[in-house]
Structure 1
C-alpha cells in the first residue's frame, strides 16, 4: 500500500485528488493539508511514501517544503504545478523532487507517476520539460557528454525526449535492467542526482544549479 499526503491550499484540489486516488487498491490517502510546514511535520512524524505538493501556499512554499522533506525523510515528492509557476521548476528539482507534473495531468498518468516514483523513477511531464527549457536563457555551451559511451549518450538523449526506461529499452533493444544500470552510471559520471536533471542538462548544457538564469 502506497501512503500518500496531499498538500494544497485549495480544498477543491485536495478533495478531488483524495476521491480520485482513494479508489485505487494500492493507494491510500493518509491526510490532506494546506500548508508546507504541516506537510514537513507529518512526513517527519509518520511514514509517508509520496507527497503530492503544491508550489504556492501561504507560509512555506512547496519548493522549500520539498527541501526539508527530502533532506529529513525518505518521502518522495511529486510537485503539482500550473503553467504560471515555471520559475520554480529547476529549484524544485534541485531540492529533491522526483516528479514535476501539471495539475491538469490526466488521472491515469498521475496514478502511474505515483507508482513509477515508488520504483525509483523520476517523472517530468513533457509540458513541464518544455517550460524548463524556455526558462533558461540561451547558453553558448552544450552538455559535456565526453565522459559517456555512445550507448550512454543515446540513452541520455532518449531520457531528454521524455521516454521511460521501459520505452528506452524497447527502442534500443536492451533489457530494462540494462537501461536502469546505464542510467545510474550516467548520473554518476555527470554528477547528477535525478533523470530530470539529466534531461535538463542534455537540453540546456546546465545542470539546474543556483546559477541557472530564468
Structure 2
C-alpha cells in the first residue's frame, strides 16, 4: 500500500517540483497540494492521509499552527520544511507534534527516505537543523535545570546534551573522554528510562524539556 501524502507550500514552484519528484517513487502517492495552512487542515479533517509535507511560512495559517491542528485532530504525521532562519518555528513545531524537519534544499532521496521513516513512526530531524536550534538554545538557557535530574545520572545528562547538539557516538565519546561502547550503553539506559526508541527522539525529548 502506498504512502498517501499531501504538500503545503505557498510557493507554487516548490509545490509542483516536490509533487513531480515524490511521484517518481512507487511507494508514495501525492494526493493533493495546498498553498496555505487553512485549506490543508480543512482537507485533512475530511481525508485519511498518512503524511503532510508542510512549509513553515504560509498565509491564513502558518505551518506551525497547522501542525498543532493536524496533530490534535487527525492521524496524519507532519514533516515540516524549513530554512535556517526559522529555528524558533522549529521549536514550536516540536511542541506541536511534527515528526520530521527538513531543509528546503534537501536532496530528493533524503526527502523520500524521511517520508518513509516518519510513516513508520520514526521521528527525523536533519542534523543541520538540530545543531542550529540546539546551539541557539544553549546560549539562552541552562538545559539541565529544565530536566528532572533524579531520572538520570550526570553522565546521561551529558550524553543527552551532546545528542541534542547533533554529535554522533564517536564525537560524544571524544567530547566526554569515554569510549563509543560506553556512549552506546548510556544511550540504551536513556532510551529505557524515557520509553523512547531512537536517538533523534532523545534530542526532541531533551529540547522539549529544557524549553518548557
- Give the TM-score range, shorter chain: 0.7 to 0.9
Contact 1:156 1:199 in 2 (8 A): yes
Residues 200, 114 of structure 1: CA spacing in aligned structure 2 closer, same or farther, 3 A cutoff? closer
Q: Which residue of 1 aligns with 2:194?
A: 187
Report the TM-score when normalising by structure 2.
0.77
Give 1 or 2 for the bigger CA radius of gyration.
2
Label 1:26 to 1:155 Cα distance change in 2 as closer, same or farther (>3 A).
farther
Q: Which residue matches 1:28? A: 29
Q: Quote the residue 2:141 is aligned against.
A: 139
Gaps of 5+ in 2: 169-179, 182-187
Q: How many aligned positions are there?
A: 193
Q: Which ranges of 4 or more aligned residues in structure 1 deviate by more than 2 Å?
A: 137-146, 148-163, 185-188, 194-198
**Which structure has greater helix proportion?**
2
Following superposition, the deviation at residue 110 of structure 1 comes to: 0.7
Provide the C-alpha distance between the structure 1 equivalents of 2:149 and 2:51, rounded to a whole number of angstroms.
Answer: 32
C-alpha RMSD over aligned residues: 3.3
After TM superposition, list the pairs within 5 Å mapping 1:44-193 onto structure 2: 44-136=45-137, 137-142=139-144, 143-144=147-148, 146-148=150-152, 156=160, 160=164, 161=166, 183=191, 185-188=192-195
**TM-score (normalizing by structure 1):** 0.76
Any stretches of 5+ residues in structure 1 without a counterpart?
Answer: 164-170, 173-178
CA distance in 2, matches of 1:197, 1:12: 32
What is the CA-CA distance between 1:133 and the residue it aligns to? 1.4
